[in-house]
A and B are shown apart, each in its own frame.
Chain A
Amino acid sequence: MSALLEAKELRKSFGGVKAVQGISLSIPEHSIYAVIGPNGAGKSTMMNLLSGTYQPDAGELLFAGRQLAGLPAHQRVRLGLARTFQKIRLFKQLSLLDNVLAGFHIHHKVPAWQYLIPGAAFWRDWTHCREQGMALLEFVGLADLAMQRAGSLAYGQQRMLEIARAMATGPRLFMLDEPAAGLNSVEVGFLLQRLKDMRERGITVVVVEHNMDLVMKVADHVFVMDRGEYLFEGAPREVQNNPKVIEAYLGGEFTGGLDS
C-alpha cells in the first residue's frame, strides 16, 4: 500500500514548549492508523498540524504527493482531509441535520443566481444533500433525532454527530481526535464498527486515542509518541509488547488494554 499522507521532520513549538520535535510518519492508504501516547505527548498538536489548524515551524507534509505546508485548514478539506475535535465543536443551536448539511459546503454545484431564486439545479442539490445527510445520520445511528437541536444530545451522540458532519465533506483521509473519550462501552463498540466500515468504504482513518482497548482492536498500524518525540511504531501486538511503550505508560492505562 502506498502512503496517502507523509510527514517529514515536523516541528512545532509554543513559546518554550516543544510540542512536536521532528516527527516523521507515513500513513498508508485504506488503513486505520492510530497515534497514541501519554498525556502531553503532542498527539493533538500533531493532529492540528496535519489538519492545518496549526502551521509547522519546520518540516514537510505531503498528501497524495501534494505539499500541504502553508495551506490553511479550509483548503485542505477540498483535497480530502477531514477531522473531528478532541473537545467537541458542534453547531449547538442548529439541528442535527443542519449540522451535517453544513458539511456539504464544498460539494454544492448550483449556479450562483439560484441561491437567490431557486431553480431546478438548486432543488436537485437540496434534495440530494438532505438524502445524503439523512444517510450519514443513519450511519452514526442518529437519524431518528435529525430535527432536534445538536446541543440537546447526550455526550456520546454528540461525538457521533461530529463524525457524521465531517464525513459529509467526503474525505479521503479522516482524522478523529480521541473519538472514544467519554463514551460508554456500548458506544465504543459501535464506534469501533463504524471505523471499520469507513475503512471498507475506502477512507483512510487516523485515530488519536487514549482508549487502548479500541486501538488494539481496530488499528492496522500504531504510532507511539512521548513528550513530542517518536517512541515506537508497528502493529498493535508489537506495540503492546514493547518495553519502552509500557514504561512510557507506567503500566497504568496500558495494562488495561493488555488484559482485554
Chain B
Amino acid sequence: MSRRVADALSRPVRWPAFLGALVVIALLPMVLGTPYWRGILVVCAMNVLLAMSLNLVIGYTGQLSLGQSGFFAIGAYVTTVLLKSYGWNFWLAGVAAVLAAGLVGLLLAAFAARLRGHYLGIASLGFAVIVYQILINWESVTKGVRGIYGIMPPPPIRLPGLPEISFGNQATLFYLVAGIALCVYVILDNLVRSPIGETLRAIREDEISAASLGVNGARWKAFSFGVSAAIAGLAGCFYPGFVGTLVPDAFGIVESFTMLAMVIVGGMGTMIGPVIGAVVLTFLPEVLRGFGDFRLIVYGLALTLVVLFMPGGILQAWQILTARLRGTEASESTGGGR
C-alpha cells in the first residue's frame, strides 16, 4: 500500500479527548462549588446541547435556521405537560418530548426543501414566533403567560445494589445533562465523520452538484432538521425541572439568536467549535457582572469583535494562531519558509 493511501486510511485517535472531557465534567462542580455557579454549569450543559443541535443544520448542512428556540420549547412543554397534567413518568415524558420535537423538525424541513438561504431563515424564524404564540395563547394546556409552577427535577434513579442517585442538587443534575451532552457529542461526531456527514457537507457546499451524485437533497435536509430538532427537544426536557417554573418568555426568538451566536462565535461546521461557543457565551455574561449596567453592552461588543476579527470563530482563530507559532518554529528548524 502506498504512503498516500495509508494517509487516507489513517483514523483519528479520539479516546484521549473523550477521557479528558470526562475528567473535566467530573471536576467542574468541585471547582465551581457554590450553588449559583453549579446552576450556571447546568445552563451551560443545556446550551452545549442546543449549540450542537443547531450546528448540525447550519454548520454541516448549510441551512440557515432561526427556529431552534421553538424546538427547545416543544421539548420543555411536552415533558412538563405530560408530567404535570397526565402524570407521566419523567423519563417517558422526555422520550415523547424528544420524538415530538423531532417530528415537528421534519415538518419544518418541508419548508427547507423549497426555500434557501435568507428565505429559509425567515420561514424558520416565523416557526419560532408561531410556537411562542401558541405557548401564550393555548392557556388550557400551557397556562399561557402565567406559566407552570412547582416543576420537580428529574426523579431519582434507583439501581439495585447502588446508592440512589438524586437530581435534587445541581451537581448531580449537571452530571446528568453534561453526561448526555457528551454522549450526543460522540454520536454526532461519529455521524459527521460517516458517509452521512459527507452527504450533508455535499448539500452544504452545492446542492445541484450533490444531486448529480445521487443525493436526494430534500430527504437529507429533513434528516438533518429532524435530528437537530430532537436534540434541541432533549435539552428542553431538563430545563423546566432545573428552573422549577415554565413561562413562554424563556423561549422567545432572542434565544434562537443566542444559539446562533454560540455556533458562529465558536466555529460552525466543526464539532468542538459550538461547544466552545456555548461555554464562552454562557460564562461571559457572568464574568462581566463587574461592569454592572454596562454588562450587556460589553457582551454585545465582544460578540461583534469576535465576528469581525475571527470570521471562522474562536476555534479557527486558535488553529491559525497555533499553526503560526508552529510554522515559525518549523521554518527556524528547517532554515526556510514555504
Contact = CB atoms under 8 A, between A and B. Distances in A.
Interface string A105-144: 1101010000111100010010101110110000000011
B130 interface: no
Contacts of B210: 102, 105
B63 to A, nearest CB: 16
Given A91-B205, A116-B191, A102 B213 contact: yes
Interface residues of B, number: 27
Contact of A131 (B5, B196, B198, B215): B5
B238 to A, nearest CB: 22
- Counting chain B CB atoms within 10 Å of each CB, the highest count among A101, A144, A166 belongs to A101
Given A116-B190, A118-B190, A94 B205 contact: yes
Contacts of B213: 74, 77, 82, 102-103, 105-106, 165-166, 168-169
A66 interface: no
B214 A169 contact: yes
Contacts, number: 109
Contact of B8 (A82, A105, A133, A168): A133
Interface in B167-199: 187, 190-191, 194-196, 198-199
A90 to B, nearest CB: 7
B302 interface: no
A129 B195 contact: yes
B187 A134 contact: no
A91 B201 contact: yes
A90 B212 CA distance: 11
A192 interface: no
Contacts of B115: none
A72 interface: yes
A125 B7 CA distance: 17
A26 B103 CA distance: 47
Given A98-B201, A102-B201, 4 more contacts: A85-B209, A116-B191, A117-B187, A125-B195
Listed from nearest, the 3 A-B pairs whose CB atoms lie closest are A77-B214, A91-B205, A106-B214
11 contacts: A75-B214, A91-B206, A92-B205, A105-B199, A115-B190, A115-B196, A131-B8, A131-B9, A144-B4, A147-B7, A165-B213
